[in-house]
Each structure stands twice: as C-alpha cells, then as structure tokens.
C-alpha cells in the first residue's frame, strides 16, 4: 500500500491525490513530530503568562477582546469547534473531505500551529481508518479559512458529530472512533482554532480539478482532431512553424496533439473538393488557440497550488524565533482567483466543442454528412437532441464561469469584512469539470459516428483506435434511432475514465 510521509515542508499534488482518491496511508516524519513538540512548548509557555495572546488565551474574531481564564480554555477550544460546525446542505464528496483533512494535517505538521503531536497523530489515524467526517456544502466564505467544513472535521476528532465509516455507512463519530481503537482528542489552548483556520478545502478541490482538467484538455484535443477529420478539414493550420511565431506553450502543445491524432489520415485536406472553402471555421481552425490558452491558465493555477501546498496557513502562527503572531494568510484570494479562472477557461473549451458538434450535425455545413448524422433523416432524428443536451451543459458552464471571487460579504460583526468566496469558486468548478466531461463525450460520440459515415477514405490510425475502443466500451456507432441516453452515458464513462486518451496514446505515444 502506498504511504505518504508528512513532514514540515509541505506535500505534493500527487500526495493529495493519493490520499483523497486512493487508499494511501499517512505517516508523520520524525522531523514533523519534533517540530510539533517544539512549537507546542512555545504555546504552553505563553498560556502560562498573564498577558493575553490571541488564539491562546482570548476569544476569537469579533470576540478576541476577552481574556479567557485558564480553567475555561479547554471549554473555549471545544466551543469554537462545536459552534463553527454550522454547515448546511448536501454532503460534500468523500474525496474532498479527505483532501481537506490531509491538507490541514500538512499545515499542522509544519510546526507553525502549536498543535500537540498527539492531535496530528489522531488526524492521521482517522484518515488511515477510512473515517470521513460529514461535511456540508454551505458554511465557508473562504476567509479565516474554510471554517465550517474544517470544523465538522475537527468535531470528528473530538468524537462528536457524524462521520462515514469505510463501509460507507454514516454513524456517530464517537462510535466509529471506538470501533477503530482511536481515542478522541481533548483540545487544549489554540488547538481548536488551528484545526479550523485554513484554505484546505478550496486547495484540495483545486488540486483535484487540475488533475481532471489535464486529462480533459488532452481529450478535447482528440475530439477536436476527430471533428476536423470528419469535416474534411485541413491540418495545415496545425503546423509547428505557425505556432512557433505565437509562442504560447499551451497552444503549441494542443496543435502537436491534434497533429499526432491526425497523422496518416486520408480525410484531411479535402476542404476544396466538392464545396471549396478557403479556410475552416473558427471552431475547427482555432481549436489549439482556445485549448492552449486553457492549458496556460492551468499552468498558472498549478503554480499557485504548488505555493499553497508548501504553505502553512493558520492564524496566529508560531514563528521560529518563538513569536506567536496574527496574520492574514488565511485569506483565500490566491486560490479563489485561479479556481474562477479555470472555470472561465473550461466554459470556453466546452463552448467551442459544442460548436464543432453542431457543425457535424448541420447538412449545410458538414460537407456531405447526413442531417443530424441520422440513418434515415426525417424518420430518424439522429443526434439532434444530443446536441440540445450539450448546449444545455454549455449554457450552465457559462453561468458557472461568473467569478465567485468578485463577490464578498461581511461577517463576524464586520471584523471579517472582506472574504474570498474561494470555497464557492471551488464548488462551482467541480460542477464545471463534470459538465465539461459530458460536453467532450458528446463531441466524441458525434465525431466517431461522422467518421464511420465517411465512405471511401480511411481515418487516421489513432482515430480508428478511438472508434474501436469506444465501440468495445459500449459507445455504439451509426444506425437507426435508439434509446440514446445509455450511449451518451457510455461515452461519458469512456472520457471520464481516461480511456479516450489511452486509446490515442496506444498509437501516438504520450500526448502533451
């Protein structure tokens, strides 16, 4: 079983994915345990002094002016967790909660939070046991961190609230901890606050979205190439020398991927045969420019994610010189902006894919293909309504592209008067990624059918590999009208599972 060792210097994106989506086990490094103990000594020393220190011997947020006496501090830490576990709405996905908890553990292990080693060990034990706290959709404003989601996770560490066991059944958290031999934690000074005060939910969703989009952008290059081929378009616009004079890295990669798919095709280059056209439509000709811009957006988002993965986000923080200082590093703006930026790019990629699909179905623009790719147009409707579904998805993608980070709403009696809404940006990006997968699946379904309807000329070897693999996966080819939803579901699973990219790479080698 894969093991992820958490130290003091952060974690990698692959570590997050291994824990969130896989069964990776977590261990704490000796360095991390030592850093935890050293920082805790500093917090304990401050707690023993009569001077108030925020987060150690005071209230929180707008209530930070009250000095808390020693006998009430354990209650204070319990209370902040209980009161902040105020989420509502549907449950958040298991992988998101696991990423959230793991990334909080990452910051705790940095030695900047003042949390005791035994609390960190309990966090690791809960993850290793497959226990997933019940976290709800609403409750985070993306400032002071993802407060409500993290509070529900901290509640589980205390043996309170509800959690899902490894069997998928939701039970009282205390029962689940007992069943796995895990002792609930008794929080001490600063620990409740340290478990809540981070951008871990939005960062975890960013990491997972980047992983999914990496596959989807390759998939979109493939379906764009298949559509170009089915429309008898020209591949000359993909020549490397054309993209070298506008040297955006993503654009060059997208064009190279499309060229690799089209290598050996007998269908490209016939754009001046029966109905001469000087140029292909923008949705075909400019596919590398749009997909490339999205790739470059991902590169920027990945840089932000890498910086966050190396960060210790808490307030206050324990510094190496022994100071415990308040700060604003919990503000989610850096992550929120790129989450929104990715949603914009994904919406545009979905939009251009839908335009190519529509072109394949329109007999006036498809250069000889039957209307709606129907078997007997008029008797059969073909893929008419599949395009409606795709258009509906694209329309929602445009709504999801409206940035959450441009919004703010004051909270905590105006102490927290500007917030990032990064959690909301992350949640809508997850929906956008889900929709983009379906949009690409519908273009795949239309393009492969169109290629099979072209007679006399052979598609590229990579295109043939896609058709064969798709048909073997239950994505059916041309024929009379049938119940279409199962076909589209099969196409969705084919794209979502990475099988489309795998089919091409079996011929071309790794795509960029």
Tell me if 151 sits within 8 A of 81, measured CB to CB.
yes
> Which DSSP symbol is given to 382?
T
Backbone angles phi, psi at 310, to 5 degrees: -95, 5
> CB-based burial of residue 456 (10 Å sphere; 0-12 exposed, 13-18 middle, 19+ buried)?
exposed
Query: Is the link from the previous residue into 316 a cis peptide, with omega within 30 of 0?
Result: yes
Return the structure tokens found at 241.
């020398």
Q: Between β-strands 3-6 and 25-28, what pairing exists: parallel, antiparallel or unpaired?
A: parallel
Q: What are the C-alpha distances in Å from 136 to residues 177, 302, 392?
A: 20, 26, 27
Q: What are the C-alpha distances in Å from 114 to residues 37, 331, 507?
A: 8, 20, 53
Interior angle at CA 324, CA 319 and CA 329, nearest 5: 75
Return the structure tokens found at 138.
């609403």
| Positive/negative CA dihedral, 332, 211, 425, 170 | negative
* Contacts by 368-371, CB closer than 8 A, 24 or more apart: 368/232, 368/274, 369/230, 369/450, 369/453, 369/454, 370/453
Of the residues 54, 282, 337, 445, which is catalytic?
Answer: 54
Query: In terms of Cα–Cα distance, which of 461, 441, 451 is closest to 506?
Result: 461
CA contacts within 13 A on the Cβ side of 285: 12
Annotated catalytic residue 54: yes
Separation of alpha carbons 327 and 315, rounded Å: 6
Backbone angles phi, psi at 245, to 5 degrees: -85, 0
Taking phi over 0 as left and psi of -120 to 50 as alpha, with beta for the rest, 163 belongs to beta
Taking phi over 0 as left and psi of -120 to 50 as alpha, with beta for the rest, 303 belongs to alpha
Separation of alpha carbons 208 and 93, rounded Å: 12
Known catalytic residues are 54
């Amino acid at each position: 079983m894969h093991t992820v060792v958490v130290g003091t210097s952060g974690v990698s994106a692959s570590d997050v994915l291994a824990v969130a989506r896989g069964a990776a086990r977590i261990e704490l490094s000796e360095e991390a345990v030592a850093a935890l103990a050293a920082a805790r000594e500093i917090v304990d020393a401050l707690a023993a002094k009569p001077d108030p220190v925020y987060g150690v011997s005071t209230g929180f947020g707008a209530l930070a002016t009250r000095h808390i006496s020693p006998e009430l501090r354990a209650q204070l830490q319990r209370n902040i967790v209980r009161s902040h576990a105020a989420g509502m709405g549907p449950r958040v996905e298991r992988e998101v909660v696991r990423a959230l908890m793991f990334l909080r553990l990452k910051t705790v292990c940095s030695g900047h939070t003042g949390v005791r080693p035994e609390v960190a060990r309990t966090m690791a034990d809960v993850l290793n046991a497959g226990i997933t706290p019940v976290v709800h959709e609403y409750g985070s404003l993306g400032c002071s961190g993802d407060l409500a989601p993290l509070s529900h996770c901290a509640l589980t560490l205390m043996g309170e609230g509800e959690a899902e066991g490894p069997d998928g059944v939701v039970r009282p958290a205390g029962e689940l901890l007992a069943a796995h031999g895990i002792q609930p934690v008794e929080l001490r000074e600063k620990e409740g606050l340290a478990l809540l005060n981070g951008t871990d939910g939005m960062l975890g969703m960013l990491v997972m979205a980047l992983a999914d989009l990496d596959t989807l952008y390759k998939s979109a290059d493939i379906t764009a190439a298949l559509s170009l081929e089915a429309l008898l378009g020209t591949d000359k616009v993909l020549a490397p020398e054309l993209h070298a004079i506008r040297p955006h890295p993503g654009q060059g990669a997208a064009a190279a991927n499309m060229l690799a798919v089209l290598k050996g095709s007998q269908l490209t280059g016939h754009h001046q045969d029966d109905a001469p056209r000087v140029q292909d439509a923008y949705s075909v000709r400019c596919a590398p420019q749009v997909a490339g811009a999205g790739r470059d957006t991902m590169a920027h988002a990945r840089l932000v994610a890498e910086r966050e993965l190396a960060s210790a986000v808490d307030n206050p923080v324990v510094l190496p010189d022994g100071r415990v200082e308040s700060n604003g590093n919990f503000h989610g703006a850096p992550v929120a902006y790129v989450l929104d930026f990715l949603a914009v790019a994904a919406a545009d990629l979905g939009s251009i894919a839908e335009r190519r699909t529509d072109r394949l179905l329109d007999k006036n623009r498809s250069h000889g293909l039957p209307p709606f790719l129907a078997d007997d147009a008029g008797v059969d409707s073909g893929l008419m309504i599949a395009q409606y579904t795709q258009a509906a998805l694209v329309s929602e993608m445009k709504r999801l592209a409206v940035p959450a980070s441009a919004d703010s709403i004051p909270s905590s009696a105006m102490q927290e008067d500007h917030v990032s809404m990064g959690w909301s940006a992350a949640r809508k990006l997850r929906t956008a990624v889900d929709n983009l997968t379906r949009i690409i699946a519908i273009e795949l379904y239309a393009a492969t059918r169109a290629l099979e309807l072209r007679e006399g000329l052979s598609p590229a070897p990579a295109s043939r590999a896609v058709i064969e693999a798709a048909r073997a996966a239950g994505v059916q080819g041309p024929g009379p009208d049938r119940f279409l939803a199962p076909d589209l579901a099969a196409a969705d699973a084919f794209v979502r599972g990475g099988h489309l990219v795998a089919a091409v790479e079996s011929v071309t080698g790794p795509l960029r």
